[in-house]
Chains A and B, each alone.
Chain A
Amino acid sequence: AQTVTQSQPEMSVQEAETVTLSCTYDTSESDYYLFWYKQPPSRQMILVIRQEAYKQQNATENRFSVNFQKAAKSFSLKISDSQLGDAAMYFCAYRPDQTGANNLFFGTGTRLTVIP
């Protein structure tokens, strides 16, 4: 069974500083996809960044980047130059690379507070 663990229920960061959110996962698969989703207080979840397990290069999207450690099954999200709009719940998600299944397995989330 695939499980996703986010060990930090809450995090806070000063505006303009950098914060890293942790995520680990458990799988016996070699091919899969990893995602970070952001859920602002209005509750509509949006994709922040995705990583294909077969790619060694860490994904980046503007101020968001990941540290993907396949052997350690770790997938952390780094937010640089934090902004007030980054305050939200962040969910790490895993998807096995199986045909016929776009099922996501989510962690319990990390609530990020940005301090002005």
Chain B
Amino acid sequence: ETGVTQTPRHLVMGMTNKKSLKCEQHLGHNAMYWYKQSAKKPLELMFVYSLEERVENNSVPSRFSPECPNSSHLFLHLHTLQPEDSALYLCASSPYWDSSYEQYFGPGTRLTVT
């Protein structure tokens, strides 16, 4: 599979569960991003990793924990989420972080917190 892939595509979890979202890019990029997309709101940038180091953390609650083991993989670990965390979570990658290269997006994980 090419481009940016995300698994699972759909996830339903209770507030006490622990789950992880996975993102993989097959483009040889060095930067990866997590976004949160809620209805009628702009996409919110959550985290940015450049060369496996976190370079941005936009005041995201600690119940979201990112992990970037290598430049091709990005995880978002979830624990004790709230119903308002239900949203579409998008992963993206770009060749480099400090440039204007376009970002390539994955299909997203639709998360529902019950």
Chain B, residue nearest A9 (CB) = B40
Mostly, the B contact residues are loop
Residues of A within 8 A of B (CB-CB), count = 26
Q: Do residues B90 and A102 form an inter-chain contact, with CB atoms below 8 A?
A: no
Q: Do residues B102 and A50 form an inter-chain contact, with CB atoms below 8 A?
A: yes
CA distance A100 to B97 in the complex (A): 7
B49-92 Cβ-contact flags toward A at 8 Å (1 or 0): 00000011000000000000000000000000000000010101
Q: Do residues B105 and A46 form an inter-chain contact, with CB atoms below 8 A?
A: yes
Chain B, residue nearest A52 (CB) = B100
Q: Do residues A106 and B43 form an inter-chain contact, with CB atoms below 8 A?
A: yes
Q: A103 within 8 Å of B by Cβ? A: yes
Of the candidates A45, A47, A108, the one whose C-beta lies within 8 Å of that of B40 is A108
Q: Do residues B43 and A95 form an inter-chain contact, with CB atoms below 8 A?
A: no
Of the candidates B55, B56, B90, the one whose C-beta lies within 8 Å of that of A45 is B90
Q: From B97, B100, B108, name the one whose CB has the most chain A CB atoms within 10 angstroms.
A: B100
Q: Do residues B97 and A102 form an inter-chain contact, with CB atoms below 8 A?
A: yes
**Cross-chain pairs A/B with CB under 8 angstroms, 25 sampled:** A9-B40, A33-B100, A43-B107, A43-B108, A44-B105, A44-B106, A44-B107, A44-B108, A45-B92, A46-B105, A47-B102, A97-B100, A100-B55, A100-B98, A101-B56, A101-B97, A102-B97, A102-B99, A102-B100, A103-B45, A103-B48, A103-B56, A104-B43, A108-B41, A108-B42
Q: Identify the 10 closest CB pairs spanning chains A and B, nearest first.
A: A45-B105, A106-B43, A106-B42, A44-B107, A47-B102, A100-B98, A43-B108, A33-B100, A102-B97, A43-B107
Which residues from chain B sit less than 8 Å from chain A, CB to CB? 3, 31, 40-43, 45, 48, 55-56, 88, 90, 92, 94, 96-103, 105-108
